[in-house]
């Protein structure tokens, strides 16, 4: 696989023992949980208590959001006058939940309210004039945008010309000039005094509801709407810090006992095999990987209005039917996504210039518009580069982009606005509409911008462990303590741990070869570990190897039986093995430079040669077939399979002898990597005729 040279850099943190003891004493916390809190910076009683028990009452005054007073005044007036109100949303989970929460609330207030979500493929994101014209014909007097509207200058002017007022609620990045609406409520406004900027679209709606209520019934409002608000916030991958964390934390509690019939049905069908346990422990991960994709699928390749109907229906039978539909559409979405991903990877591996083009721009007339955003995320994750996938329909292409930390893809796309019909988004995710004839020029322009504005060669992938643990620390009790710190997410990641010098006792390929399962051991303590997204043929390690791990802990609930497992983030050779490998490589390099002084135990015997040749025949599998091998890995496998100590140095010497007598073709790429092929020979080859071996034996 081609990829850039992004390096994984490990950092290992620690904790202050005195602060750990303080938390244990003052808050009656267990030792392991206290260590994690201190290591993460929640190292005082106040910080730790707020993190674990943050109150909904600590949310800022919603009227600190600019124009919130105007928005509330206008909406109340429309409700009291029985004006027809249209909630205009978006087709992703944030948009759908925003519509659902506000529709439920305004309906409760007695408003004459309806809703509209544009169709992704034919209408695209945001307000459009055809829809607005239809609203005017239907007697709509007020449009409230949710999760959209911040760039809709022309559409809002058109609405005003038809006698429709507009209130904007949005959370996307603002441009210099704001639309001329009755109110523009957005925490990203340059003049905003609201202390927390990272609300989701549904979070802004939640604050609007709180403002409408005047904060009189905040706990009641939270219990009614926080399940829906949490769903949209997590699904939109917003930072789970500050107000978002408080909202999501309360929302997860609400989800466990939700009265929302649609959410009940979706939870039951999503986690059908683990229903009881999953309902007791719904996490942000449960939303991100379970509930949200099913709702999202409707907006991507299904009927988005059914996803919305799920969240507002009070009919259990209807909820069950819609949940079944959403699960089915999600399975279809996964199939389509896999096909597009494979095609995208094929384009990249065949055509992409990694040296010069740091933004991957891919185009196809076959790709489903509703799925390319998900695929762009997977492409960026795989290649550690920003990516934009564009689906062409006729003369127009619509694209979805994802980015890496530090590179603002919305600004990058904006720099090419002269080539675009429409664009908008966030730092890490954005969309665009483009004439297909401008795609090649756009690819060139955005890569020129990227090369001048960002140093991709300096990008490092930092993996930060909170502190070092041992295998004996991997327990169900410790994993349960970590669960009490939920929710986790962007900017508030799962606790990560460093474990050194663990032996890989057993190694398996699982999930159709996509993942690895292993049994690890240290000091006679065993644990199960999973490495998702790592095929065994790319792993680079084998049974018996000693490695260091970056990992977190998770509880596996199989039919009510709880067990703990390690989830691996990264693996590297242990320091002990690394030093041994470096020493062996240095010794071999000395041999190749004419210094044949090696220890007697590293000089191969005839028995060693026989075992090594049998191993190579199996590993290479055919004559004149080139196979790239890791000498270190092969030496380990050879030692295990044939029960003798074949050091890295010894196997390197064996390969050189085989090359010397014509048994193999050998091209060394470095001290560890080599391309090997077996040669067909006439008659029996005599190893003793090797001059290289003779020189070794002399010493």
pLDDT single digits (tens) 244-289: 999 999 999 999 889 999 999 999 999 875 544 445 578 999 999 8
Q: What pLDDT is attached to residue 457?
A: 81
Specify whether 475 is located in the same domain as 559: yes
Q: What pLDDT is attached to residue 278?
A: 45
The strand order across the sheet containing 387-393 reads 360-364, 387-393, 396-402, 429-435, 420-425
Of 174, 199, 216, the last residue of a domain is: 216
| Mean pLDDT score, 485-501 | 94
Separation between Cα atoms, residue 641 and residue 657, nearest integer Å: 21
- For the CA atoms of 429, 432, 437, 442, the dihedral, rounded to the nearest 10 degrees, stands at -40
| Mean pLDDT score, 351-362 | 92
Cα torsion 189, 195, 197, 202: sign: negative
Q: What is the CATH number of the domain that holds 469?
A: 2.40.50.460
Degrees (nearest 5) of the Cα angle 683, 687, 688?
Answer: 120
Instruction: Determine, yes or no, domain membership for 314.
Output: no
pTM of the model: 0.81
Of 539, 573, 607, the last residue of a domain is: 573
403 backbone φψ class: left, alpha, beta (φ>0; ψ -120 to 50): beta
Surface-to-core class of residue 47, CB atoms within 10 Å of its CB (0-12 exposed, 13-18 middle, 19+ buried): middle
Specify whether 180 is located in the same domain as 73: yes
Axis crossing angle, helix 648-660 with helix 606-620, rounded to the nearest 10: 80
Of 216, 234, 268, the last residue of a domain is: 216
Question: Count of domains in the chain?
Answer: 4
Q: What is the CATH number of the domain that holds 357?
A: 3.10.310.30
Specify whether 131 is located in the same domain as 193: yes
**Residue at token pair 């900017």:** 491
Q: What is the CATH number of the domain that holds 209?
A: 3.90.1640.30
| Mean pLDDT score, 87-115 | 96
Answer whether residue 571 shows pLDDT above 60. yes
Instruction: Determine, yes or no, domain membership for 568.
Output: yes
Q: What pLDDT is attached to residue 234?
A: 96
Q: What is the CATH number of the domain that holds 615?
A: 1.10.10
Question: Which among 499, 540, 493 has a CA at the least distance from the CA of 523?
Answer: 499
Specify whether 537 is located in the same domain as 471: yes
Separation between Cα atoms, residue 281 and residue 464, nearest integer Å: 26
3-state SS of 585-621 is HHHHHHHHCCCCCCCHHHCCCHHHHHHHHHHHHHHHC
Per DSSP, which regions of 316-382 are E strands? 360-364
Separation between Cα atoms, residue 88 and residue 71, nearest integer Å: 15
Per-residue pLDDT reduced to its tens digit, 578-590: 888 888 888 888 8
Q: What pLDDT is attached to residue 261?
A: 96
Q: What pLDDT is attached to residue 526?
A: 96
Specify whether 585 is located in the same domain as 569: no
Specify whether 561 is located in the same domain as 599: no
Per-residue pLDDT reduced to its tens digit, 551-568: 999 988 777 788 999 999
Confidence of residue 322 (pLDDT cuts 50, 70, 90): very high
Q: What pLDDT is attached to residue 412?
A: 95
Q: What pLDDT is attached to residue 2?
A: 52
Answer whether residue 186 shows pLDDT above 70. yes
Considering the chain, what percentage of its residues have pLDDT values greater than 90? Answer: 73
Answer whether residue 126 shows pLDDT above 90. no
Degrees (nearest 5) of the Cα angle 403, 292, 496?
Answer: 60
Q: What pLDDT is attached to residue 277?
A: 43
The 10 Å Cβ neighbour count of residue 43 is 18
Tell me the C-alpha to C-alpha distance, in Å, between residue 4 and each of 20, 137, 245, 458.
41, 54, 34, 11
Identify whether the C-beta of residue 135 lies closer than 8 Å to the C-beta of residue 164. yes
Q: What pLDDT is attached to residue 123?
A: 81
The strand order across the sheet containing 664-668 reads 627-630, 673-678, 664-668
Considering the chain, what percentage of its residues have pLDDT values greater than 70? Answer: 98
Separation between Cα atoms, residue 357 and residue 451, nearest integer Å: 8
Q: What pLDDT is attached to residue 247?
A: 95
Q: What pLDDT is attached to residue 294?
A: 95
State in Å, rounded, how far the first CA of the chain is from the last one: 43
Instruction: Determine, yes or no, domain membership for 321.
Output: no
Per DSSP, which regions of 302-443 are E strands? 360-364, 387-393, 396-402, 420-425, 429-435
Spatial CB neighbours of 576, under 8 Å, sequence gap ≥ 6: 501, 546
Instruction: Determine, yes or no, domain membership for 283.
Output: no
| Mean pLDDT score, 200-216 | 93
Separation between Cα atoms, residue 542 and residue 525, nearest integer Å: 19
Instruction: Determine, yes or no, domain membership for 680.
Output: yes
Q: What pLDDT is attached to residue 276?
A: 43
The two three-digit tokens of residue 514, written as one number: 């996509």
Per-residue pLDDT reduced to its tens digit, 29-70: 999 999 999 999 999 999 999 999 989 999 999 999 999 999
Per-residue pLDDT reduced to its tens digit, 336-355: 999 999 999 999 998 898 98
Q: What pLDDT is attached to residue 699?
A: 64
The 10 Å Cβ neighbour count of residue 472 is 12
Separation between Cα atoms, residue 589 and residue 319, nearest integer Å: 69
Which is it for strands 460-465 and 497-510: parallel, antiparallel or unpaired? unpaired
Q: What is the per-residue DSSP string for 133-194? A: HHHHHTTEEEEEEES--TT-HHHHHHHHHTT-EEEEE--SPP-SSPP--SEEE-TT-TT---
Helix (H) / strand (E) element for 403: namely none
Separation between Cα atoms, residue 451 and residue 454, nearest integer Å: 6
Specify whether 532 is located in the same domain as 605: no
Q: What pLDDT is attached to residue 231?
A: 97
Instruction: Determine, yes or no, domain membership for 522.
Output: yes
Specify whether 144 is located in the same domain as 77: yes
Identify whether the C-beta of residue 412 lies closer than 8 Å to the C-beta of residue 446. yes
Per-residue pLDDT reduced to its tens digit, 131-162: 999 999 999 999 999 999 999 999 999 999 99
Instruction: Determine, yes or no, domain membership for 684.
Output: yes
Per-residue pLDDT reduced to its tens digit, 285-309: 999 989 999 999 998 888 999 999 9
Instruction: Determine, yes or no, domain membership for 148.
Output: yes
Separation between Cα atoms, residue 55 and residue 249, nearest integer Å: 10
Separation between Cα atoms, residue 303 and residue 130, nearest integer Å: 20
Answer whether residue 425 shows pLDDT above 90. no
Specify whether 446 is located in the same domain as 563: no
**Residue 35: φ, ψ to 5°:** -60, -45
Specify whether 521 is located in the same domain as 596: no
Answer whether residue 667 shows pLDDT above 80. yes
Specify whether 439 is located in the same domain as 472: no
Q: What pLDDT is attached to residue 460?
A: 80
Give residue 76's domain range. 61-216
Specify whether 478 is located in the same domain as 373: no
């Amino acid at each position: 696989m081609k990829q850039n040279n992004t390096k994984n850099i490990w950092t290992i943190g620690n904790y202050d023992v005195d602060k750990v003891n303080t938390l244990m004493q003052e808050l009656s916390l267990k030792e392991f949980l206290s260590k994690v809190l201190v290591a993460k910076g929640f190292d005082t009683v106040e910080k730790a208590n707020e993190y674990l028990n943050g109150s909904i009452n600590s949310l800022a005054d919603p009227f600190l959001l600019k124009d919130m007073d105007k928005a509330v005044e206008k909406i109340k007036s429309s409700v009291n006058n029985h004006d027809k109100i249209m909630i205009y949303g978006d087709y992703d989970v944030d948009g759908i939940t925003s519509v659902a929460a506000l529709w439920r609330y305004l309906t409760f207030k007695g408003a004459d309210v309806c809703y509209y979500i544009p169709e992704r493929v034919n209408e695209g994101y945001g307000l459009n004039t055809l829809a607005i014209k239809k609203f005017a014909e239907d007697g709509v007097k007020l449009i409230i945008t949710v999760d959209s509207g911040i760039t809709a200058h022309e559409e809002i002017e058109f609405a005003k010309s038809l006698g429709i007022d507009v209130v904007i609620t949005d959370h996307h990045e603002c441009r210099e000039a704001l639309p001329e609406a009755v109110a523009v409520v957005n925490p990203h406004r340059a003049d905003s005094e609201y202390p927390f900027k990272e609300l989701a679209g549904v979070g802004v709606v939640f604050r609007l509801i709180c403002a409408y209520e005047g904060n009189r019934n905040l706990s009641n409002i939270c219990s009614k709407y926080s399940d829906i608000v949490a769903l949209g916030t997590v699904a939109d991958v917003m930072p789970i810090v500050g107000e978002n964390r408080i909202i999501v934390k309360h929302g997860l509690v609400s989800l466990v006992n939700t009265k929302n019939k649609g959410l009940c049905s979706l939870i039951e069908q999503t986690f059908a095999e683990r229903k009881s346990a999953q309902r007791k422990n719904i996490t942000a991960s449960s939303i991100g990987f379970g509930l949200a994709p099913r709702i999202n699928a409707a907006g991507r390749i299904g009927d988005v209005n059914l996803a919305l109907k799920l969240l507002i229906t009070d009919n259990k039978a209807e909820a069950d039917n819609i949940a079944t539909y959403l699960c089915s559409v999600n399975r279809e979405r996964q199939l389509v996504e896999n096909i597009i991903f494979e095609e995208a990877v094929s384009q990249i591996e065949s055509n992409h210039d990694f040296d010069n083009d740091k933004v991957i721009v891919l185009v196809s007339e076959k790709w489903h518009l509703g799925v390319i955003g998900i695929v762009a995320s997977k492409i960026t994750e795989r290649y550690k580069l920003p990516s934009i996938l564009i689906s062409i329909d006729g003369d127009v292409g619509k694209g979805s982009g994802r980015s890496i930390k530090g590179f603002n893809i919305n600004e990058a796309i904006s720099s090419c606005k002269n080539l675009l019909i429409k664009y908008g988004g966030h730092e890490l995710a954005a969309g665009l509409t483009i004439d297909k004839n401008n795609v090649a020029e756009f690819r060139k322009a955005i890569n020129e911008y990227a090369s001048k504005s960002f140093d991709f060669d300096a990008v490092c992938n930092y993996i930060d462990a909170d502190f070092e643990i041992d295998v004996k620390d991997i327990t169900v009790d410790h994993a349960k303590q970590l669960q009490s710190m939920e929710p986790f997410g962007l900017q508030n990641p799962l606790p990560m741990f460093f474990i050194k010098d663990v032996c890989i006792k057993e190694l398996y390929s699982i999930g159709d070869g996509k993942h690895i399962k292993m049994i690890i051991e240290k000091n006679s303590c065993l644990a199960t570990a999973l490495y998702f997204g790592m095929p065994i043929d790319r792993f680079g390690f084998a049974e018996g190897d000693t490695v260091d791990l970056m990992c977190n802990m998770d509880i596996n609930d199989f039919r009510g039986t709880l067990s703990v497992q390690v989830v691996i983030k990264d693996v590297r050779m242990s320091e002990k093995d690394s030093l041994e490998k470096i020493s062996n490589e240095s010794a071999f390099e000395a041999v190749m430079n004419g210094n044949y002084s090696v220890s007697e135990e590293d000089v191969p015997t005839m028995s060693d040669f026989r075992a090594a040749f049998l191993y190579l025949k199996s590993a290479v599998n055919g004559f004149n077939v080139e196979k790239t091998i890791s000498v270190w890995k092969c030496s380990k496998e050879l030692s295990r399979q044939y029960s003798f100590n074949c050091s890295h140095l010894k196997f390197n010497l064996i390969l050189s002898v085989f090359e010397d007598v014509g048994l193999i073709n050998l091209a060394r790429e470095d001290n560890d990597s080599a391309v090997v092929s077996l040669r067909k020979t006439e008659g029996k080859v005599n190893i003793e005729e090797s001059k290289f071996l003779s020189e070794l034996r002399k010493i």
